[in-house]
Amino acid sequence: MAIKWLTRIALGLIALSVVGYLAFYFGSQLVMDKKWPVRPDPVRAAEGPNAVTQGARLARLYGCQDCHGTELRGRLYVDEPGIASLWAPNLTLKAQTYSDADLARGIRAGIDPKGRALITMPSVAYSRLSDAEIGEILAYIRSLRPGGEVRPLSNVGWIGRLGLITDDYRTAPVEVANARDHPLPDFGPRFAAGRGLARACVECHGADLSGDRGVGTPNLNVVKDYTEAQFEKLLLTGRSNTGHELDLMSATARRRFNGLSSADMAALYGYLRQRAKTAE
Ligand code: HEC
Ligand code: HEC
């Protein structure tokens, strides 16, 4: 008798876990398969003598190469068993079949030409780039010689899928939508240039720069502990105000930010100081 009950309980548990797994698998699949509107985007690749150089500068500042590779030919940039294997696509090959609008929509809205939500592409950091900036980035992408391989789609493991269901991980268009109500605070024309540059910090420090626990970033109010010279040094060398090497931040500063002019760094510092002051 006891054996019979135990068997039933065991079978029941197995059935439950199968149902649970299926619900979980299809639930997360539903999040990833949701169709998004494919709106036209009037942006066109910029022309003119400086467009490509300017676009390359912006691509570096915004970290396109960090994920898509130095020549934007795509690469596996995260490979965490169980969580996800993330492939950034080969943009030089995409550019051969994509229109300017398709590329722009991918960058700013996080939606592919078929209406699929991109995953882990940080469109949230690019959604407010101006048409002029996007035009220059497109000019740069189109200037690169097409080459390399077509990369596979990213594969999201069960931990990643759990994150999608519990809303700990979001697809790119969901992040863009969530950030709509959290723009970078606007302190008028005097701080406009710095505010524009601060978009390069959104990817990791969050839509309103108040920090992101998932990435381990502080609220950028921390600049109140930095003199302007210390801030410049952080962006140029990666050393903190106490002279320390940080983790991701130092590597990012040396890869992306050490090309900023001193005028740009002063503008960025001015904006972040103003933001910190207003928050007090
Ligand atoms: C944190 C990593 C990361 C950064 C930084 C990043 N991308 Fe991406 N990008 C991705 C991934 C991953 C995908 C593919 C997502 C998918 O297919 O679900 C992608 C997709 C795209 C697409 C859409 C391609 C398609 O299949 O429709 C474009 C266009 C693009 N990225 C351009 C850029 C540009 C330009 C920049 C810099 C301004 C940039 N990306 C920065 C990771 C990144
Ligand atoms: C690719 C991710 C990434 C980007 C982009 C990024 N940061 Fe960071 N930042 C971090 C991380 C992570 C930390 C926490 C320290 C660490 O782990 O390196 C950090 C810490 C900091 C700190 C605190 C340093 C300290 O003394 O503890 C400052 C200031 C800072 N970032 C400024 C910026 C500014 C300004 C930008 C934009 C121009 C920016 N960050 C863009 C990831 C990033």
CA distance 200 to 256: 9
Does the pLDDT at position 173 exceed 80? yes
Q: If we measure between CA atoms, which residue out of 191, 176, 193, 199 comes closest to residue 278?
A: 191
Across the chain, what does the average pLDDT equal? 94
Residue 61 · residue 260 · CB < 8 Å? yes
Instruction: Starting from the CA of residue 205, give the closest ligand.
Output: 2
C-beta of 240 in contact with ligand 2 (< 6 A)? yes
Nearest CA to ligand 1 atom 24: 106
C-alpha gyration radius of the chain: 22
What is the per-residue pLDDT for 172?
Answer: 96
The two three-digit tokens of residue 192, written as one number: 């406009």
Instruction: Starting from the CA of residue 153, give the closest ligand.
Output: 1
Instruction: Starting from the CA of residue 112, give the closest ligand.
Output: 1
The two three-digit tokens of residue 161, written as one number: 């899928």
Nearest CA to ligand 2 atom 29: 223
Residue 110 · residue 173 · CB < 8 Å? yes
Average pLDDT for residues 63-69, to the nearest whole number?
A: 97
Residue 36 · residue 116 · CB < 8 Å? yes
CA distance 105 to 173: 10
**C-beta contacts of 45-48 below 8 A and 24+ residues apart:** 45/100, 45/135, 45/138, 45/139, 45/141, 45/142, 46/132, 46/135, 46/136, 46/138, 46/139, 47/139
Model confidence at 1, pLDDT cuts 50, 70, 90, reads: low
The tens digit of pLDDT for each residue in 203-220 reads 999 999 999 988 899 999
CA 67 to ligand 1 centroid distance, Å: 8
Choose the residue to mutate in 35, 60, 121, 156 for probing ligand 1, maximizing ligand atoms within 8 Å of C-beta. Answer: 121
CA 85 to ligand 2 centroid distance, Å: 24
Most confident by average pLDDT, 56-60, 153-157, 177-181: 56-60
Q: If we measure between CA atoms, which residue out of 41, 60, 259 comes closest to residue 140?
A: 60
Average pLDDT for residues 129-155, to the nearest whole number?
A: 97
CA distance 122 to 126: 7
C-beta of 252 in contact with ligand 2 (< 6 A)? yes
Model confidence at 272, pLDDT cuts 50, 70, 90, reads: very high
Nearest CA to ligand 1 atom 40: 64
